[in-house]
């Protein structure tokens, strides 16, 4: 049988509230972010938790929602601060929503802290909404500027927790469904037994399976998946750079 070549156009579901799998522990946080986005909730929220619990996903979902409603939004990935400059925050208070991701990456950097502090003040004057995420609670971030620390505590803070072992297969099947892939329960269990259980790596696996199943015109059965993933000799090495959360 001729192998069908996948088209160069791949379907990449963008981060939205609909594609966020909150599990039992993160529903309140997701609700609060959604409320802030729709203008019914707080004007400022802080989200914290370890990597891969969905902070970036929620921030980008909020941006996406307002952007498609023709509102102005800004998303600043502070983890990439070495390529950016604090001047990047100038004037952002005129946006309807500003999202600062990975705050810990600039904690202790005087120029960035000062710029974020100014942004807080300007946002308050301008009435814009602010969503900040970091890997620790505000009190534990090594911030040098006490004024910034106090402003960061000025709204509700939500801890995003990892999904439980029981929730992971459901989350994985949901992720597949958003890619319009049908992932049987036993295949999901198979993947979770053999590959790293973080959502980022799992997104990468799904992307690979998406391509191979399309090319081979096969369903995602356990035998097919086993065969398709044989090329990935070292499962842990298959970590795509695309952010899933």
Decide whether 35 or 185 has the Cβ nearer to another protein: 35
Cβ 156 vs Cβ 166: under 8 Å? no
CB of 222 to another protein, least distance (A): 30
Instruction: Classify residue 96 by its DSSP letter.
Output: S
Contact 3/215 with Cβ under 8 angstroms?
Answer: yes
Determine, following the binding rule CB under 8 A, whether residue 18 of this chain makes contact with another protein.
no
Q: Which lies closer to another protein via its Cβ, residue 161 or residue 216?
A: 161
Radius of gyration of the chain (CA): 20
Q: Check binding of 200 to another protein (CB under 8 A).
A: no
Site string for another protein, 94-133 (x = CB under 8 A): xxx-----------------x--xx--xx-xxxxxx----
180 binds another protein (CB under 8 A): no
Per DSSP, helices labelled H in 45-184 are 55-68, 110-126, 146-152, 167-178
- In this structure, what are the phi and psi dihedrals at residue 52, rounded to the nearest 5 degrees? 70, 30
SS3 132: strand
Nearer to another protein among residue 54 and residue 155 (C-beta):
155
Can you state the angle between helices 167-178 and 185-194, rounded to 10 degrees? 110
State the DSSP code for 209.
Answer: H
Q: Tell me: does residue 38 bind another protein (CB under 8 A).
A: no
Q: Which is nearer to another protein, 31 or 221 (CB)?
A: 31
Segment lying near another protein (by CB under 8 A), choices 57-65, 167-175, 190-198, 226-234: 57-65
42 sits near another protein (criterion: CB under 8 A): yes
CA 18/CA 125 separation, integer angstroms: 32
- The Cα 135–Cα 205 span in angstroms is 25
Write out the binding residues for another protein, residues 134-173 only, by CB under 8 A: 136-137, 139-140, 146-147, 149-151, 153-159
Closest listed residue to residue 207, CA positions, set 230, 180, 171, 233: 180
Say whether residue 47 binds another protein (CB under 8 A): no
Residues 144, 116: Cα–Cα separation, whole Å? 12
If the CB atoms of residues 30 and 225 are measured against another protein, the closer one turns out to be 30
Nearer to another protein, 30 or 229 (CB): 30
Which chain residues interact with another protein by CB under 8 A?
A: 9, 12, 14-15, 28, 31-32, 35, 39, 41-42, 60, 63-64, 67, 70-77, 80, 84-85, 87-96, 114, 117-118, 121-122, 124-129, 136-137, 139-140, 146-147, 149-151, 153-159, 241-243
């Amino acid at each position: 049988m001729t192998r069908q070549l996948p088209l160069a156009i791949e379907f990449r579901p963008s981060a939205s509230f609909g594609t966020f799998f909150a599990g039992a522990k993160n529903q309140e946080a997701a609700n609060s972010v959604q409320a802030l986005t729709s203008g019914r909730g707080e004007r400022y929220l802080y989200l914290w938790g370890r990597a891969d619990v969905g902070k970036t996903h929620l921030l980008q979902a909020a941006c996406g929602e307002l952007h498609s409603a023709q509102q102005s939004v800004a998303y600043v990935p502070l983890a990439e601060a070495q390529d950016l400059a604090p001047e990047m925050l100038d004037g952002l208070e005129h946006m309807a929503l500003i999202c600062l991701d990975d705050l810990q990456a600039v904690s202790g950097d005087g120029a960035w802290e000062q710029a974020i502090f100014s942004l807080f003040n300007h946002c308050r004057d301008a009435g814009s909404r602010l969503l900040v995420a970091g890997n620790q609670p505000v009190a534990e971030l090594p911030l040098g500027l006490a004024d910034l620390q106090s402003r960061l505590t000025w709204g509700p803070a939500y801890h995003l927790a990892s999904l439980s072992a029981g929730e992971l297969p459901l989350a994985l099947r949901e992720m597949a469904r958003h890619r319009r892939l049908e992932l049987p329960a036993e295949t999901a269990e198979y993947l979770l037994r053999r590959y790293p259980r973080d959502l980022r790596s799992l997104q990468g696996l799904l992307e690979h399976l998406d391509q191979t199943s399309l090319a081979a015109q096969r369903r995602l059965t356990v035998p097919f998946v086993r065969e398709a993933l044989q090329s990935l000799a070292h499962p842990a090495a298959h970590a795509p750079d695309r952010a899933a959360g």
